[in-house]
Amino acid sequence: MKILVVGGGGREHALVWALTRERDVTVLCTPGNPGIAALAPCASVPVTDPDALASLAEREAVDLTVIGPELPLSLGVADTFTERGLRVFGPTRAAAALEWSKAFAKDFMARHRVPTAGFRICHSAGEALAVLSSGELGYPIVLKADGLAAGKGVVIAETRAIADQAVHDLMVARRFGESGDTLVLEEFLVGDEASYFVVADGADFVRLSSAQDHKRIFDGDRGPNTGGMGAFAPSPLLTSQMEQRVVDEIVVPVLQGMVDEGRPFRGFLYVGLMMTSHGPKVVEFNVRFGDPEAQVILPMLAEPLSTLLLDATSGQLSSRAARFSTDKFVGVVLASGGYPDSADNGKVITGLANAAAVPDALVFHAGTAESDSHVVTHGGRVLTVVGRGTTYEQAIEVAYRAAGRIRFEHMQLRTDIGRKALTAVSQSPV
Ligand code: AMP
Ligand code: GLY
């Protein structure tokens, strides 16, 4: 079977890595990255050109295409493939609205009684300012641009003055362009964040795993938000009892609701959660695998990924839990100087092979490029180094031992990835 993976980040490297370990599967990727190129041929079709991607799949006689990032999904790549009779894993544009429109996602959750933060949707600055002056959502208050904003369209405002300023930035100065034409104002949720992943085919779904990301750039969850500086899986916050609640109160009604509204969801569903004192509440949905969550979850999978993906595209998926290793996985992101505002590109990376030689370690590429036969930095998040262990301590030790062998100028990394798992374990009742 021939599978095309669309994308070129750490998540896609992990997808390609998992698929190339299977017998009888050959993989092609576009646009890929140097780490992926070591495992599979890479084409140069951009992820934003649905017709060119479909033509690539036809030309290469691909049996299944897996879409990694949200942008092509929001552009309707899955629809184009289906119209052209090609098998694709990833939601339609209509189903991907769960991620590309936060207003759709919130209204949808309200319609289907899925637990989430209280909210108001505003279509003008005047409307937003009126909600702020009513004080109905309290402070701090969360302001979100409706559309895709690469994780940067969210402002947590402690005071009315900061919230007013954010309304101005998003709706008047249009800092994120048309993404800010509609604003979601949301009640601030207190709790620990975790995420939960399933592979869905309409109402049927296979449970993958939980994980926890580290979104802030600096240790101790300080500094600006990033795409994710590291992750671990599974999350000790999602005990089997809590996981069952997430499935019953969130996953089942969401997938059934999407079917009932004529937008059946087929793909990886990423449920971003806040574990509040009133139970798990949805912070956001993503319509694709997480990055760096994929890098710590896919190595746990103890059954062929290709079968799961194919079953989901052929209506043969039956609801169950996927088979998983009981080991723990911790992934540390190595980022460029300047990230998250900019990226210090072109810095030579050394020690990659040495790091990958650490037993139980994996090195996934994201923002890398090849230049004069060197691998160099090319983007904000450069690599994810994953460690595996029978305990979180072991997995952390392996990940940092391997990461310690990699060098590039101005490299940034957090030194506390995975520590939250240790405190959560010691605090949780047995
Ligand atoms: P989002 O893009 O919706 O995931 O938001 C980005 C980050 O902002 C989340 O990972 C949370 O840390 C934070 N956040 C979003 N919504 C809320 C909320 N209602 N209450 C508290 N924190 C939030
Ligand atoms: N790690 C967060 C995301 O993939 O959106």
Cα–Cα distance between 393 and 233 in angstroms, integer? 13
The amino acid that residue 386 corresponds to is V
Task: Determine the distance separating the centroid of ligand 2 and the alpha carbon of 373, expressed in angstroms.
Answer: 31
- For ligand 2, atom 4, the nearest C-alpha belongs to 290
The total number of residues written for the chain in this structure: 430
- For ligand 1, atom 5, the nearest C-alpha belongs to 154
What are φ and ψ of residue 249, in 5° steps? -90, -20
Please report the pLDDT score of residue 428 as a whole number. Answer: 45
- The predicted-structure confidence for 63-96, as pLDDT tens digits, reads as follows 999 999 999 999 999 999 999 999 999 999 999 9
- For ligand 1, atom 6, the nearest C-alpha belongs to 154
Of 22-31, 304-313, 367-376, 419-428, give the lowest mean pLDDT range: 419-428
- For ligand 1, atom 16, the nearest C-alpha belongs to 283
For the chain, the helix, strand and coil percentages under 3-state DSSP, each to the nearest 5 = 35, 30, 40
| Ligand 1 pocket residues where CB is under 6 Å | 117, 142, 144, 151, 154, 186, 188-189, 193, 215, 272, 283-284
> Dihedral sign, CA of 309, 311, 314, 320?
negative
Ligand 2 nearest-atom number relative to CA 151: 5
Task: Determine the distance separating the centroid of ligand 1 and the alpha carbon of 154, expressed in angstroms.
Answer: 7
CB distance 293 to ligand 2 below 6 Å:
yes
Task: Quote the Cα angle for 72-76-82, to 5°.
Answer: 115
Count of beta carbons in the 10 Å neighbourhood of residue 354:
14
- The predicted-structure confidence for 118-177, as pLDDT tens digits, reads as follows 999 999 999 999 999 998 999 999 999 888 776 667 899 999 999 999 999 888 888 877
Percent of the chain with pLDDT over 90: 90
Query: What 8-state DSSP symbol labels residue 237?
Result: T
The pTM is what?
0.96
The amino acid that residue 295 corresponds to is Q
Task: Quote the Cα angle for 202-89-145, to 5°.
Answer: 80
- For ligand 2, atom 5, the nearest C-alpha belongs to 290
Cα–Cα distance between 257 and 20 in angstroms, integer? 35
Burial of 319 (0-12, 13-18, 19+ CB in 10 A): middle
Best of 193, 283, 284 for a ligand 1 pocket test (most atoms within 8 Å of beta carbon): 283
Burial of 80 (0-12, 13-18, 19+ CB in 10 A): buried
CB distance 286 to ligand 2 below 6 Å:
yes
- For ligand 1, atom 4, the nearest C-alpha belongs to 284
- Asked whether the predicted pLDDT for residue 99 surpasses 60, the reply is yes
- Write down the residue that tokens 């140069």 correspond to: 44
Question: What is residue 1's three-state secondary structure?
Answer: coil
Rg (alpha carbons) of the chain, rounded to whole number: 21
Alpha helices in 135-251 (DSSP H): 160-167, 240-246
- The predicted-structure confidence for 247-277, as pLDDT tens digits, reads as follows 999 999 999 999 999 999 999 999 999 999 9
Please report the pLDDT score of residue 106 as a whole number. Answer: 98
The amino acid that residue 64 corresponds to is L
Please report the pLDDT score of residue 424 as a whole number. Answer: 66
